[in-house]
Structure 1
Amino acid sequence: MPEKQFDIKEVTLKNNCPICFIREGLRLILKQKIKETKFYKSITSEVNYELVCKKCNSIIYPVQWTDDIDQVVDYQKKAVEPKKASTYLKKLSWVVIITTAIVVSAVIFTMLYNNL
């Protein structure tokens, strides 16, 4: 299944855009990754970031960053507190676990009962 991401924090930077050179047009979005399957939903500890210019609507890749932008992004990455990594079991997982436990218990009970 595809991995999803949710926004943790969005910050407007006061740096110049390296493409259109407009001041205060940059927006830094910090996102945390979620893995989801039929059986579980897991919040990972992986945090991704995206730098976008609001004026020219372009994504600013790390290769294009100036030293000033790099310092501000590093500061923001340290300042953000992502959600704790965790895993939640879905209903299907619980059904499989309980069904397996019942079947195993029945088999053990039957084997013990037949041996008496």
Structure 2
Amino acid sequence: MAEIKLELIKEAELTNNCPECFNQELKLSFYQKHSYGKFVHKITDEVSSEIKCKTCHNAIYPVSWTPDIERVYEYYKKTAIPVEPAVKYTRSLYIIILLLIVLVAASVYILLNRELFTS
């Protein structure tokens, strides 16, 4: 099974007021989805974000955002540049492909030289 991780690509401290506790300690984080499997490591173009208050530890959802928070969010969204989507193959996949090639080559060699082994 593939393990899915959200890798941090940008984090910013905001000085806007928290809608819950009215303190000025908010943290904005942008994450990119990475999928780690036994044979393939995929980097997707899916980016998610989260705003948390550092005082009351509540997640601030878009429903309760003020216009100031929206403006700051849009600014930081433009500056959060994700890693290009890619597929990277692991060493395990290359080893399996190499073993299959060796197995096919050995089978062909045995079939072509069958009379050497039967005498």
- Pair member with larger Rg: 2
CA RMSD of aligned residues (A): 1.8
Q: Cα offset for 1:98?
A: 1.1
What is the number of equivalent residue pairs in this alignment? 113
Amino-acid identity (%) = 37
Higher alpha-carbon deviation: 47-56 or 78-87: 78-87
Residue 17 (str. 1) matches residue 4 (str. 2): no
Aligned to 1:42: 42
Name stretches of at least 5 consecutive residues in structure 1 with no aligned partner. none
Name stretches of at least 5 consecutive residues in structure 2 with no aligned partner. 115-119
After TM superposition, the score normalised by the length of structure 2 is: 0.82
Aligned to 2:76: 76
Q: Cα offset for 1:101?
A: 2.1
Residue type of the partner of 2:16?
N
Structure 2: distance between partners of 1:9 and 1:28: 8
Higher alpha-carbon deviation: 82-91 or 7-16: 82-91
After TM superposition, the score normalised by the length of structure 1 is: 0.84
SS of the residue aligned with 1:101? helix
Structure 1: distance between partners of 2:41 and 2:101: 22
Q: Cα offset for 1:48?
A: 1.1
Structure 1: distance between partners of 2:41 and 2:32: 13
Residue type of the partner of 2:18?
C
Structure 2: distance between partners of 1:3 and 1:74: 26
Higher alpha-carbon deviation: 102-111 or 65-74: 102-111
